[in-house]
Amino acid sequence: MQAGREDPADEVLVAQVRGGDAVAADRLVRRHFPLAYTIALAVMGGHTDADDVCQDAMVRALEKIDECRSPSRFRFWLAQIVRNQARNALAKRRVRSGPPLEEVDQHPAPGHTGESAERGELRAVLLAALELLTPVQREVVLLKDLEGWDHRTIATALGVSEGMSRQHLFAARGTLRRALGPEALKEHTEGHRHG
């Protein structure tokens, strides 16, 4: 994606953040928070901790931004930090012998109190359905259908082949369709603009 003067490229923002520019940091965070949140959701299985994990990971990314060797690929670097942070959080929870994720109530994440009841309900249903997928299936389907990434990009980010990415997507969509039924999921058709 080419960034204009009003929308500086990631490498420009990363350079400014390295110099301590808080405005650039704010832009970088807002630009990539949705992706970070998506990955945290995928790894955490839709648990409410995804929001905390995502914030922790982004704070860490700003602290360690000198270690981002390819600023133009900042999003991939950030995605890896979020993934690691989420896995660590899951491991810690297992060590503490907390209840399995499947038994935790699927409340909407903090910060969603202002959303419409219908959207909140649909969100809760989707989060519960995501629990049926493996972490890699969740990540593939969320990156593809929510973030609009292509298979090559997903494969690079996850370290799998494009063929595996397609297989995971196929399996994930099938599971979600069976779990949610045709009414719960609007399928995008030609001309339907993906938000």
**Which residues are at the interface with other proteins (CB under 8 A)?**
17-22, 25-26, 29-30, 33-34, 37-38, 41, 51, 54-55, 58-59, 62-63, 109, 111-112, 114-115, 119, 122-123, 126-127, 130, 141-142, 144-146, 173, 176-177, 185-190, 194-195
Closer of 60 and 87 to other proteins (Cβ): 60
Torsion-angle region of residue 134: left (phi > 0), alpha (psi -120 to 50) or beta? beta
Min separation Cβ 97 and other proteins, Å: 29
Instruction: Name the packing angle between helices 50-63 and 22-44 (round to 10°).
Output: 140
Closer of 100 and 191 to other proteins (Cβ): 191
Question: Contact, 144 vs 151, CB < 8 A?
Answer: yes
Token readout for 109 is 């994440």
Cα separation, 142 vs 147, in Å, equals 7
Q: CA distances (Å), 16 to each of 28, 106, 134, in order?
A: 10, 39, 38
Closer of 37 and 77 to other proteins (Cβ): 37
Min separation Cβ 152 and other proteins, Å: 14
Closer of 84 and 94 to other proteins (Cβ): 84
Torsion-angle region of residue 124: left (phi > 0), alpha (psi -120 to 50) or beta? alpha
Closer of 97 and 182 to other proteins (Cβ): 182
Min separation Cβ 99 and other proteins, Å: 23
Min separation Cβ 59 and other proteins, Å: 5
- For residue 85, which of 40, 143, 140, 138 has the smallest C-alpha distance? 40
Min separation Cβ 56 and other proteins, Å: 9
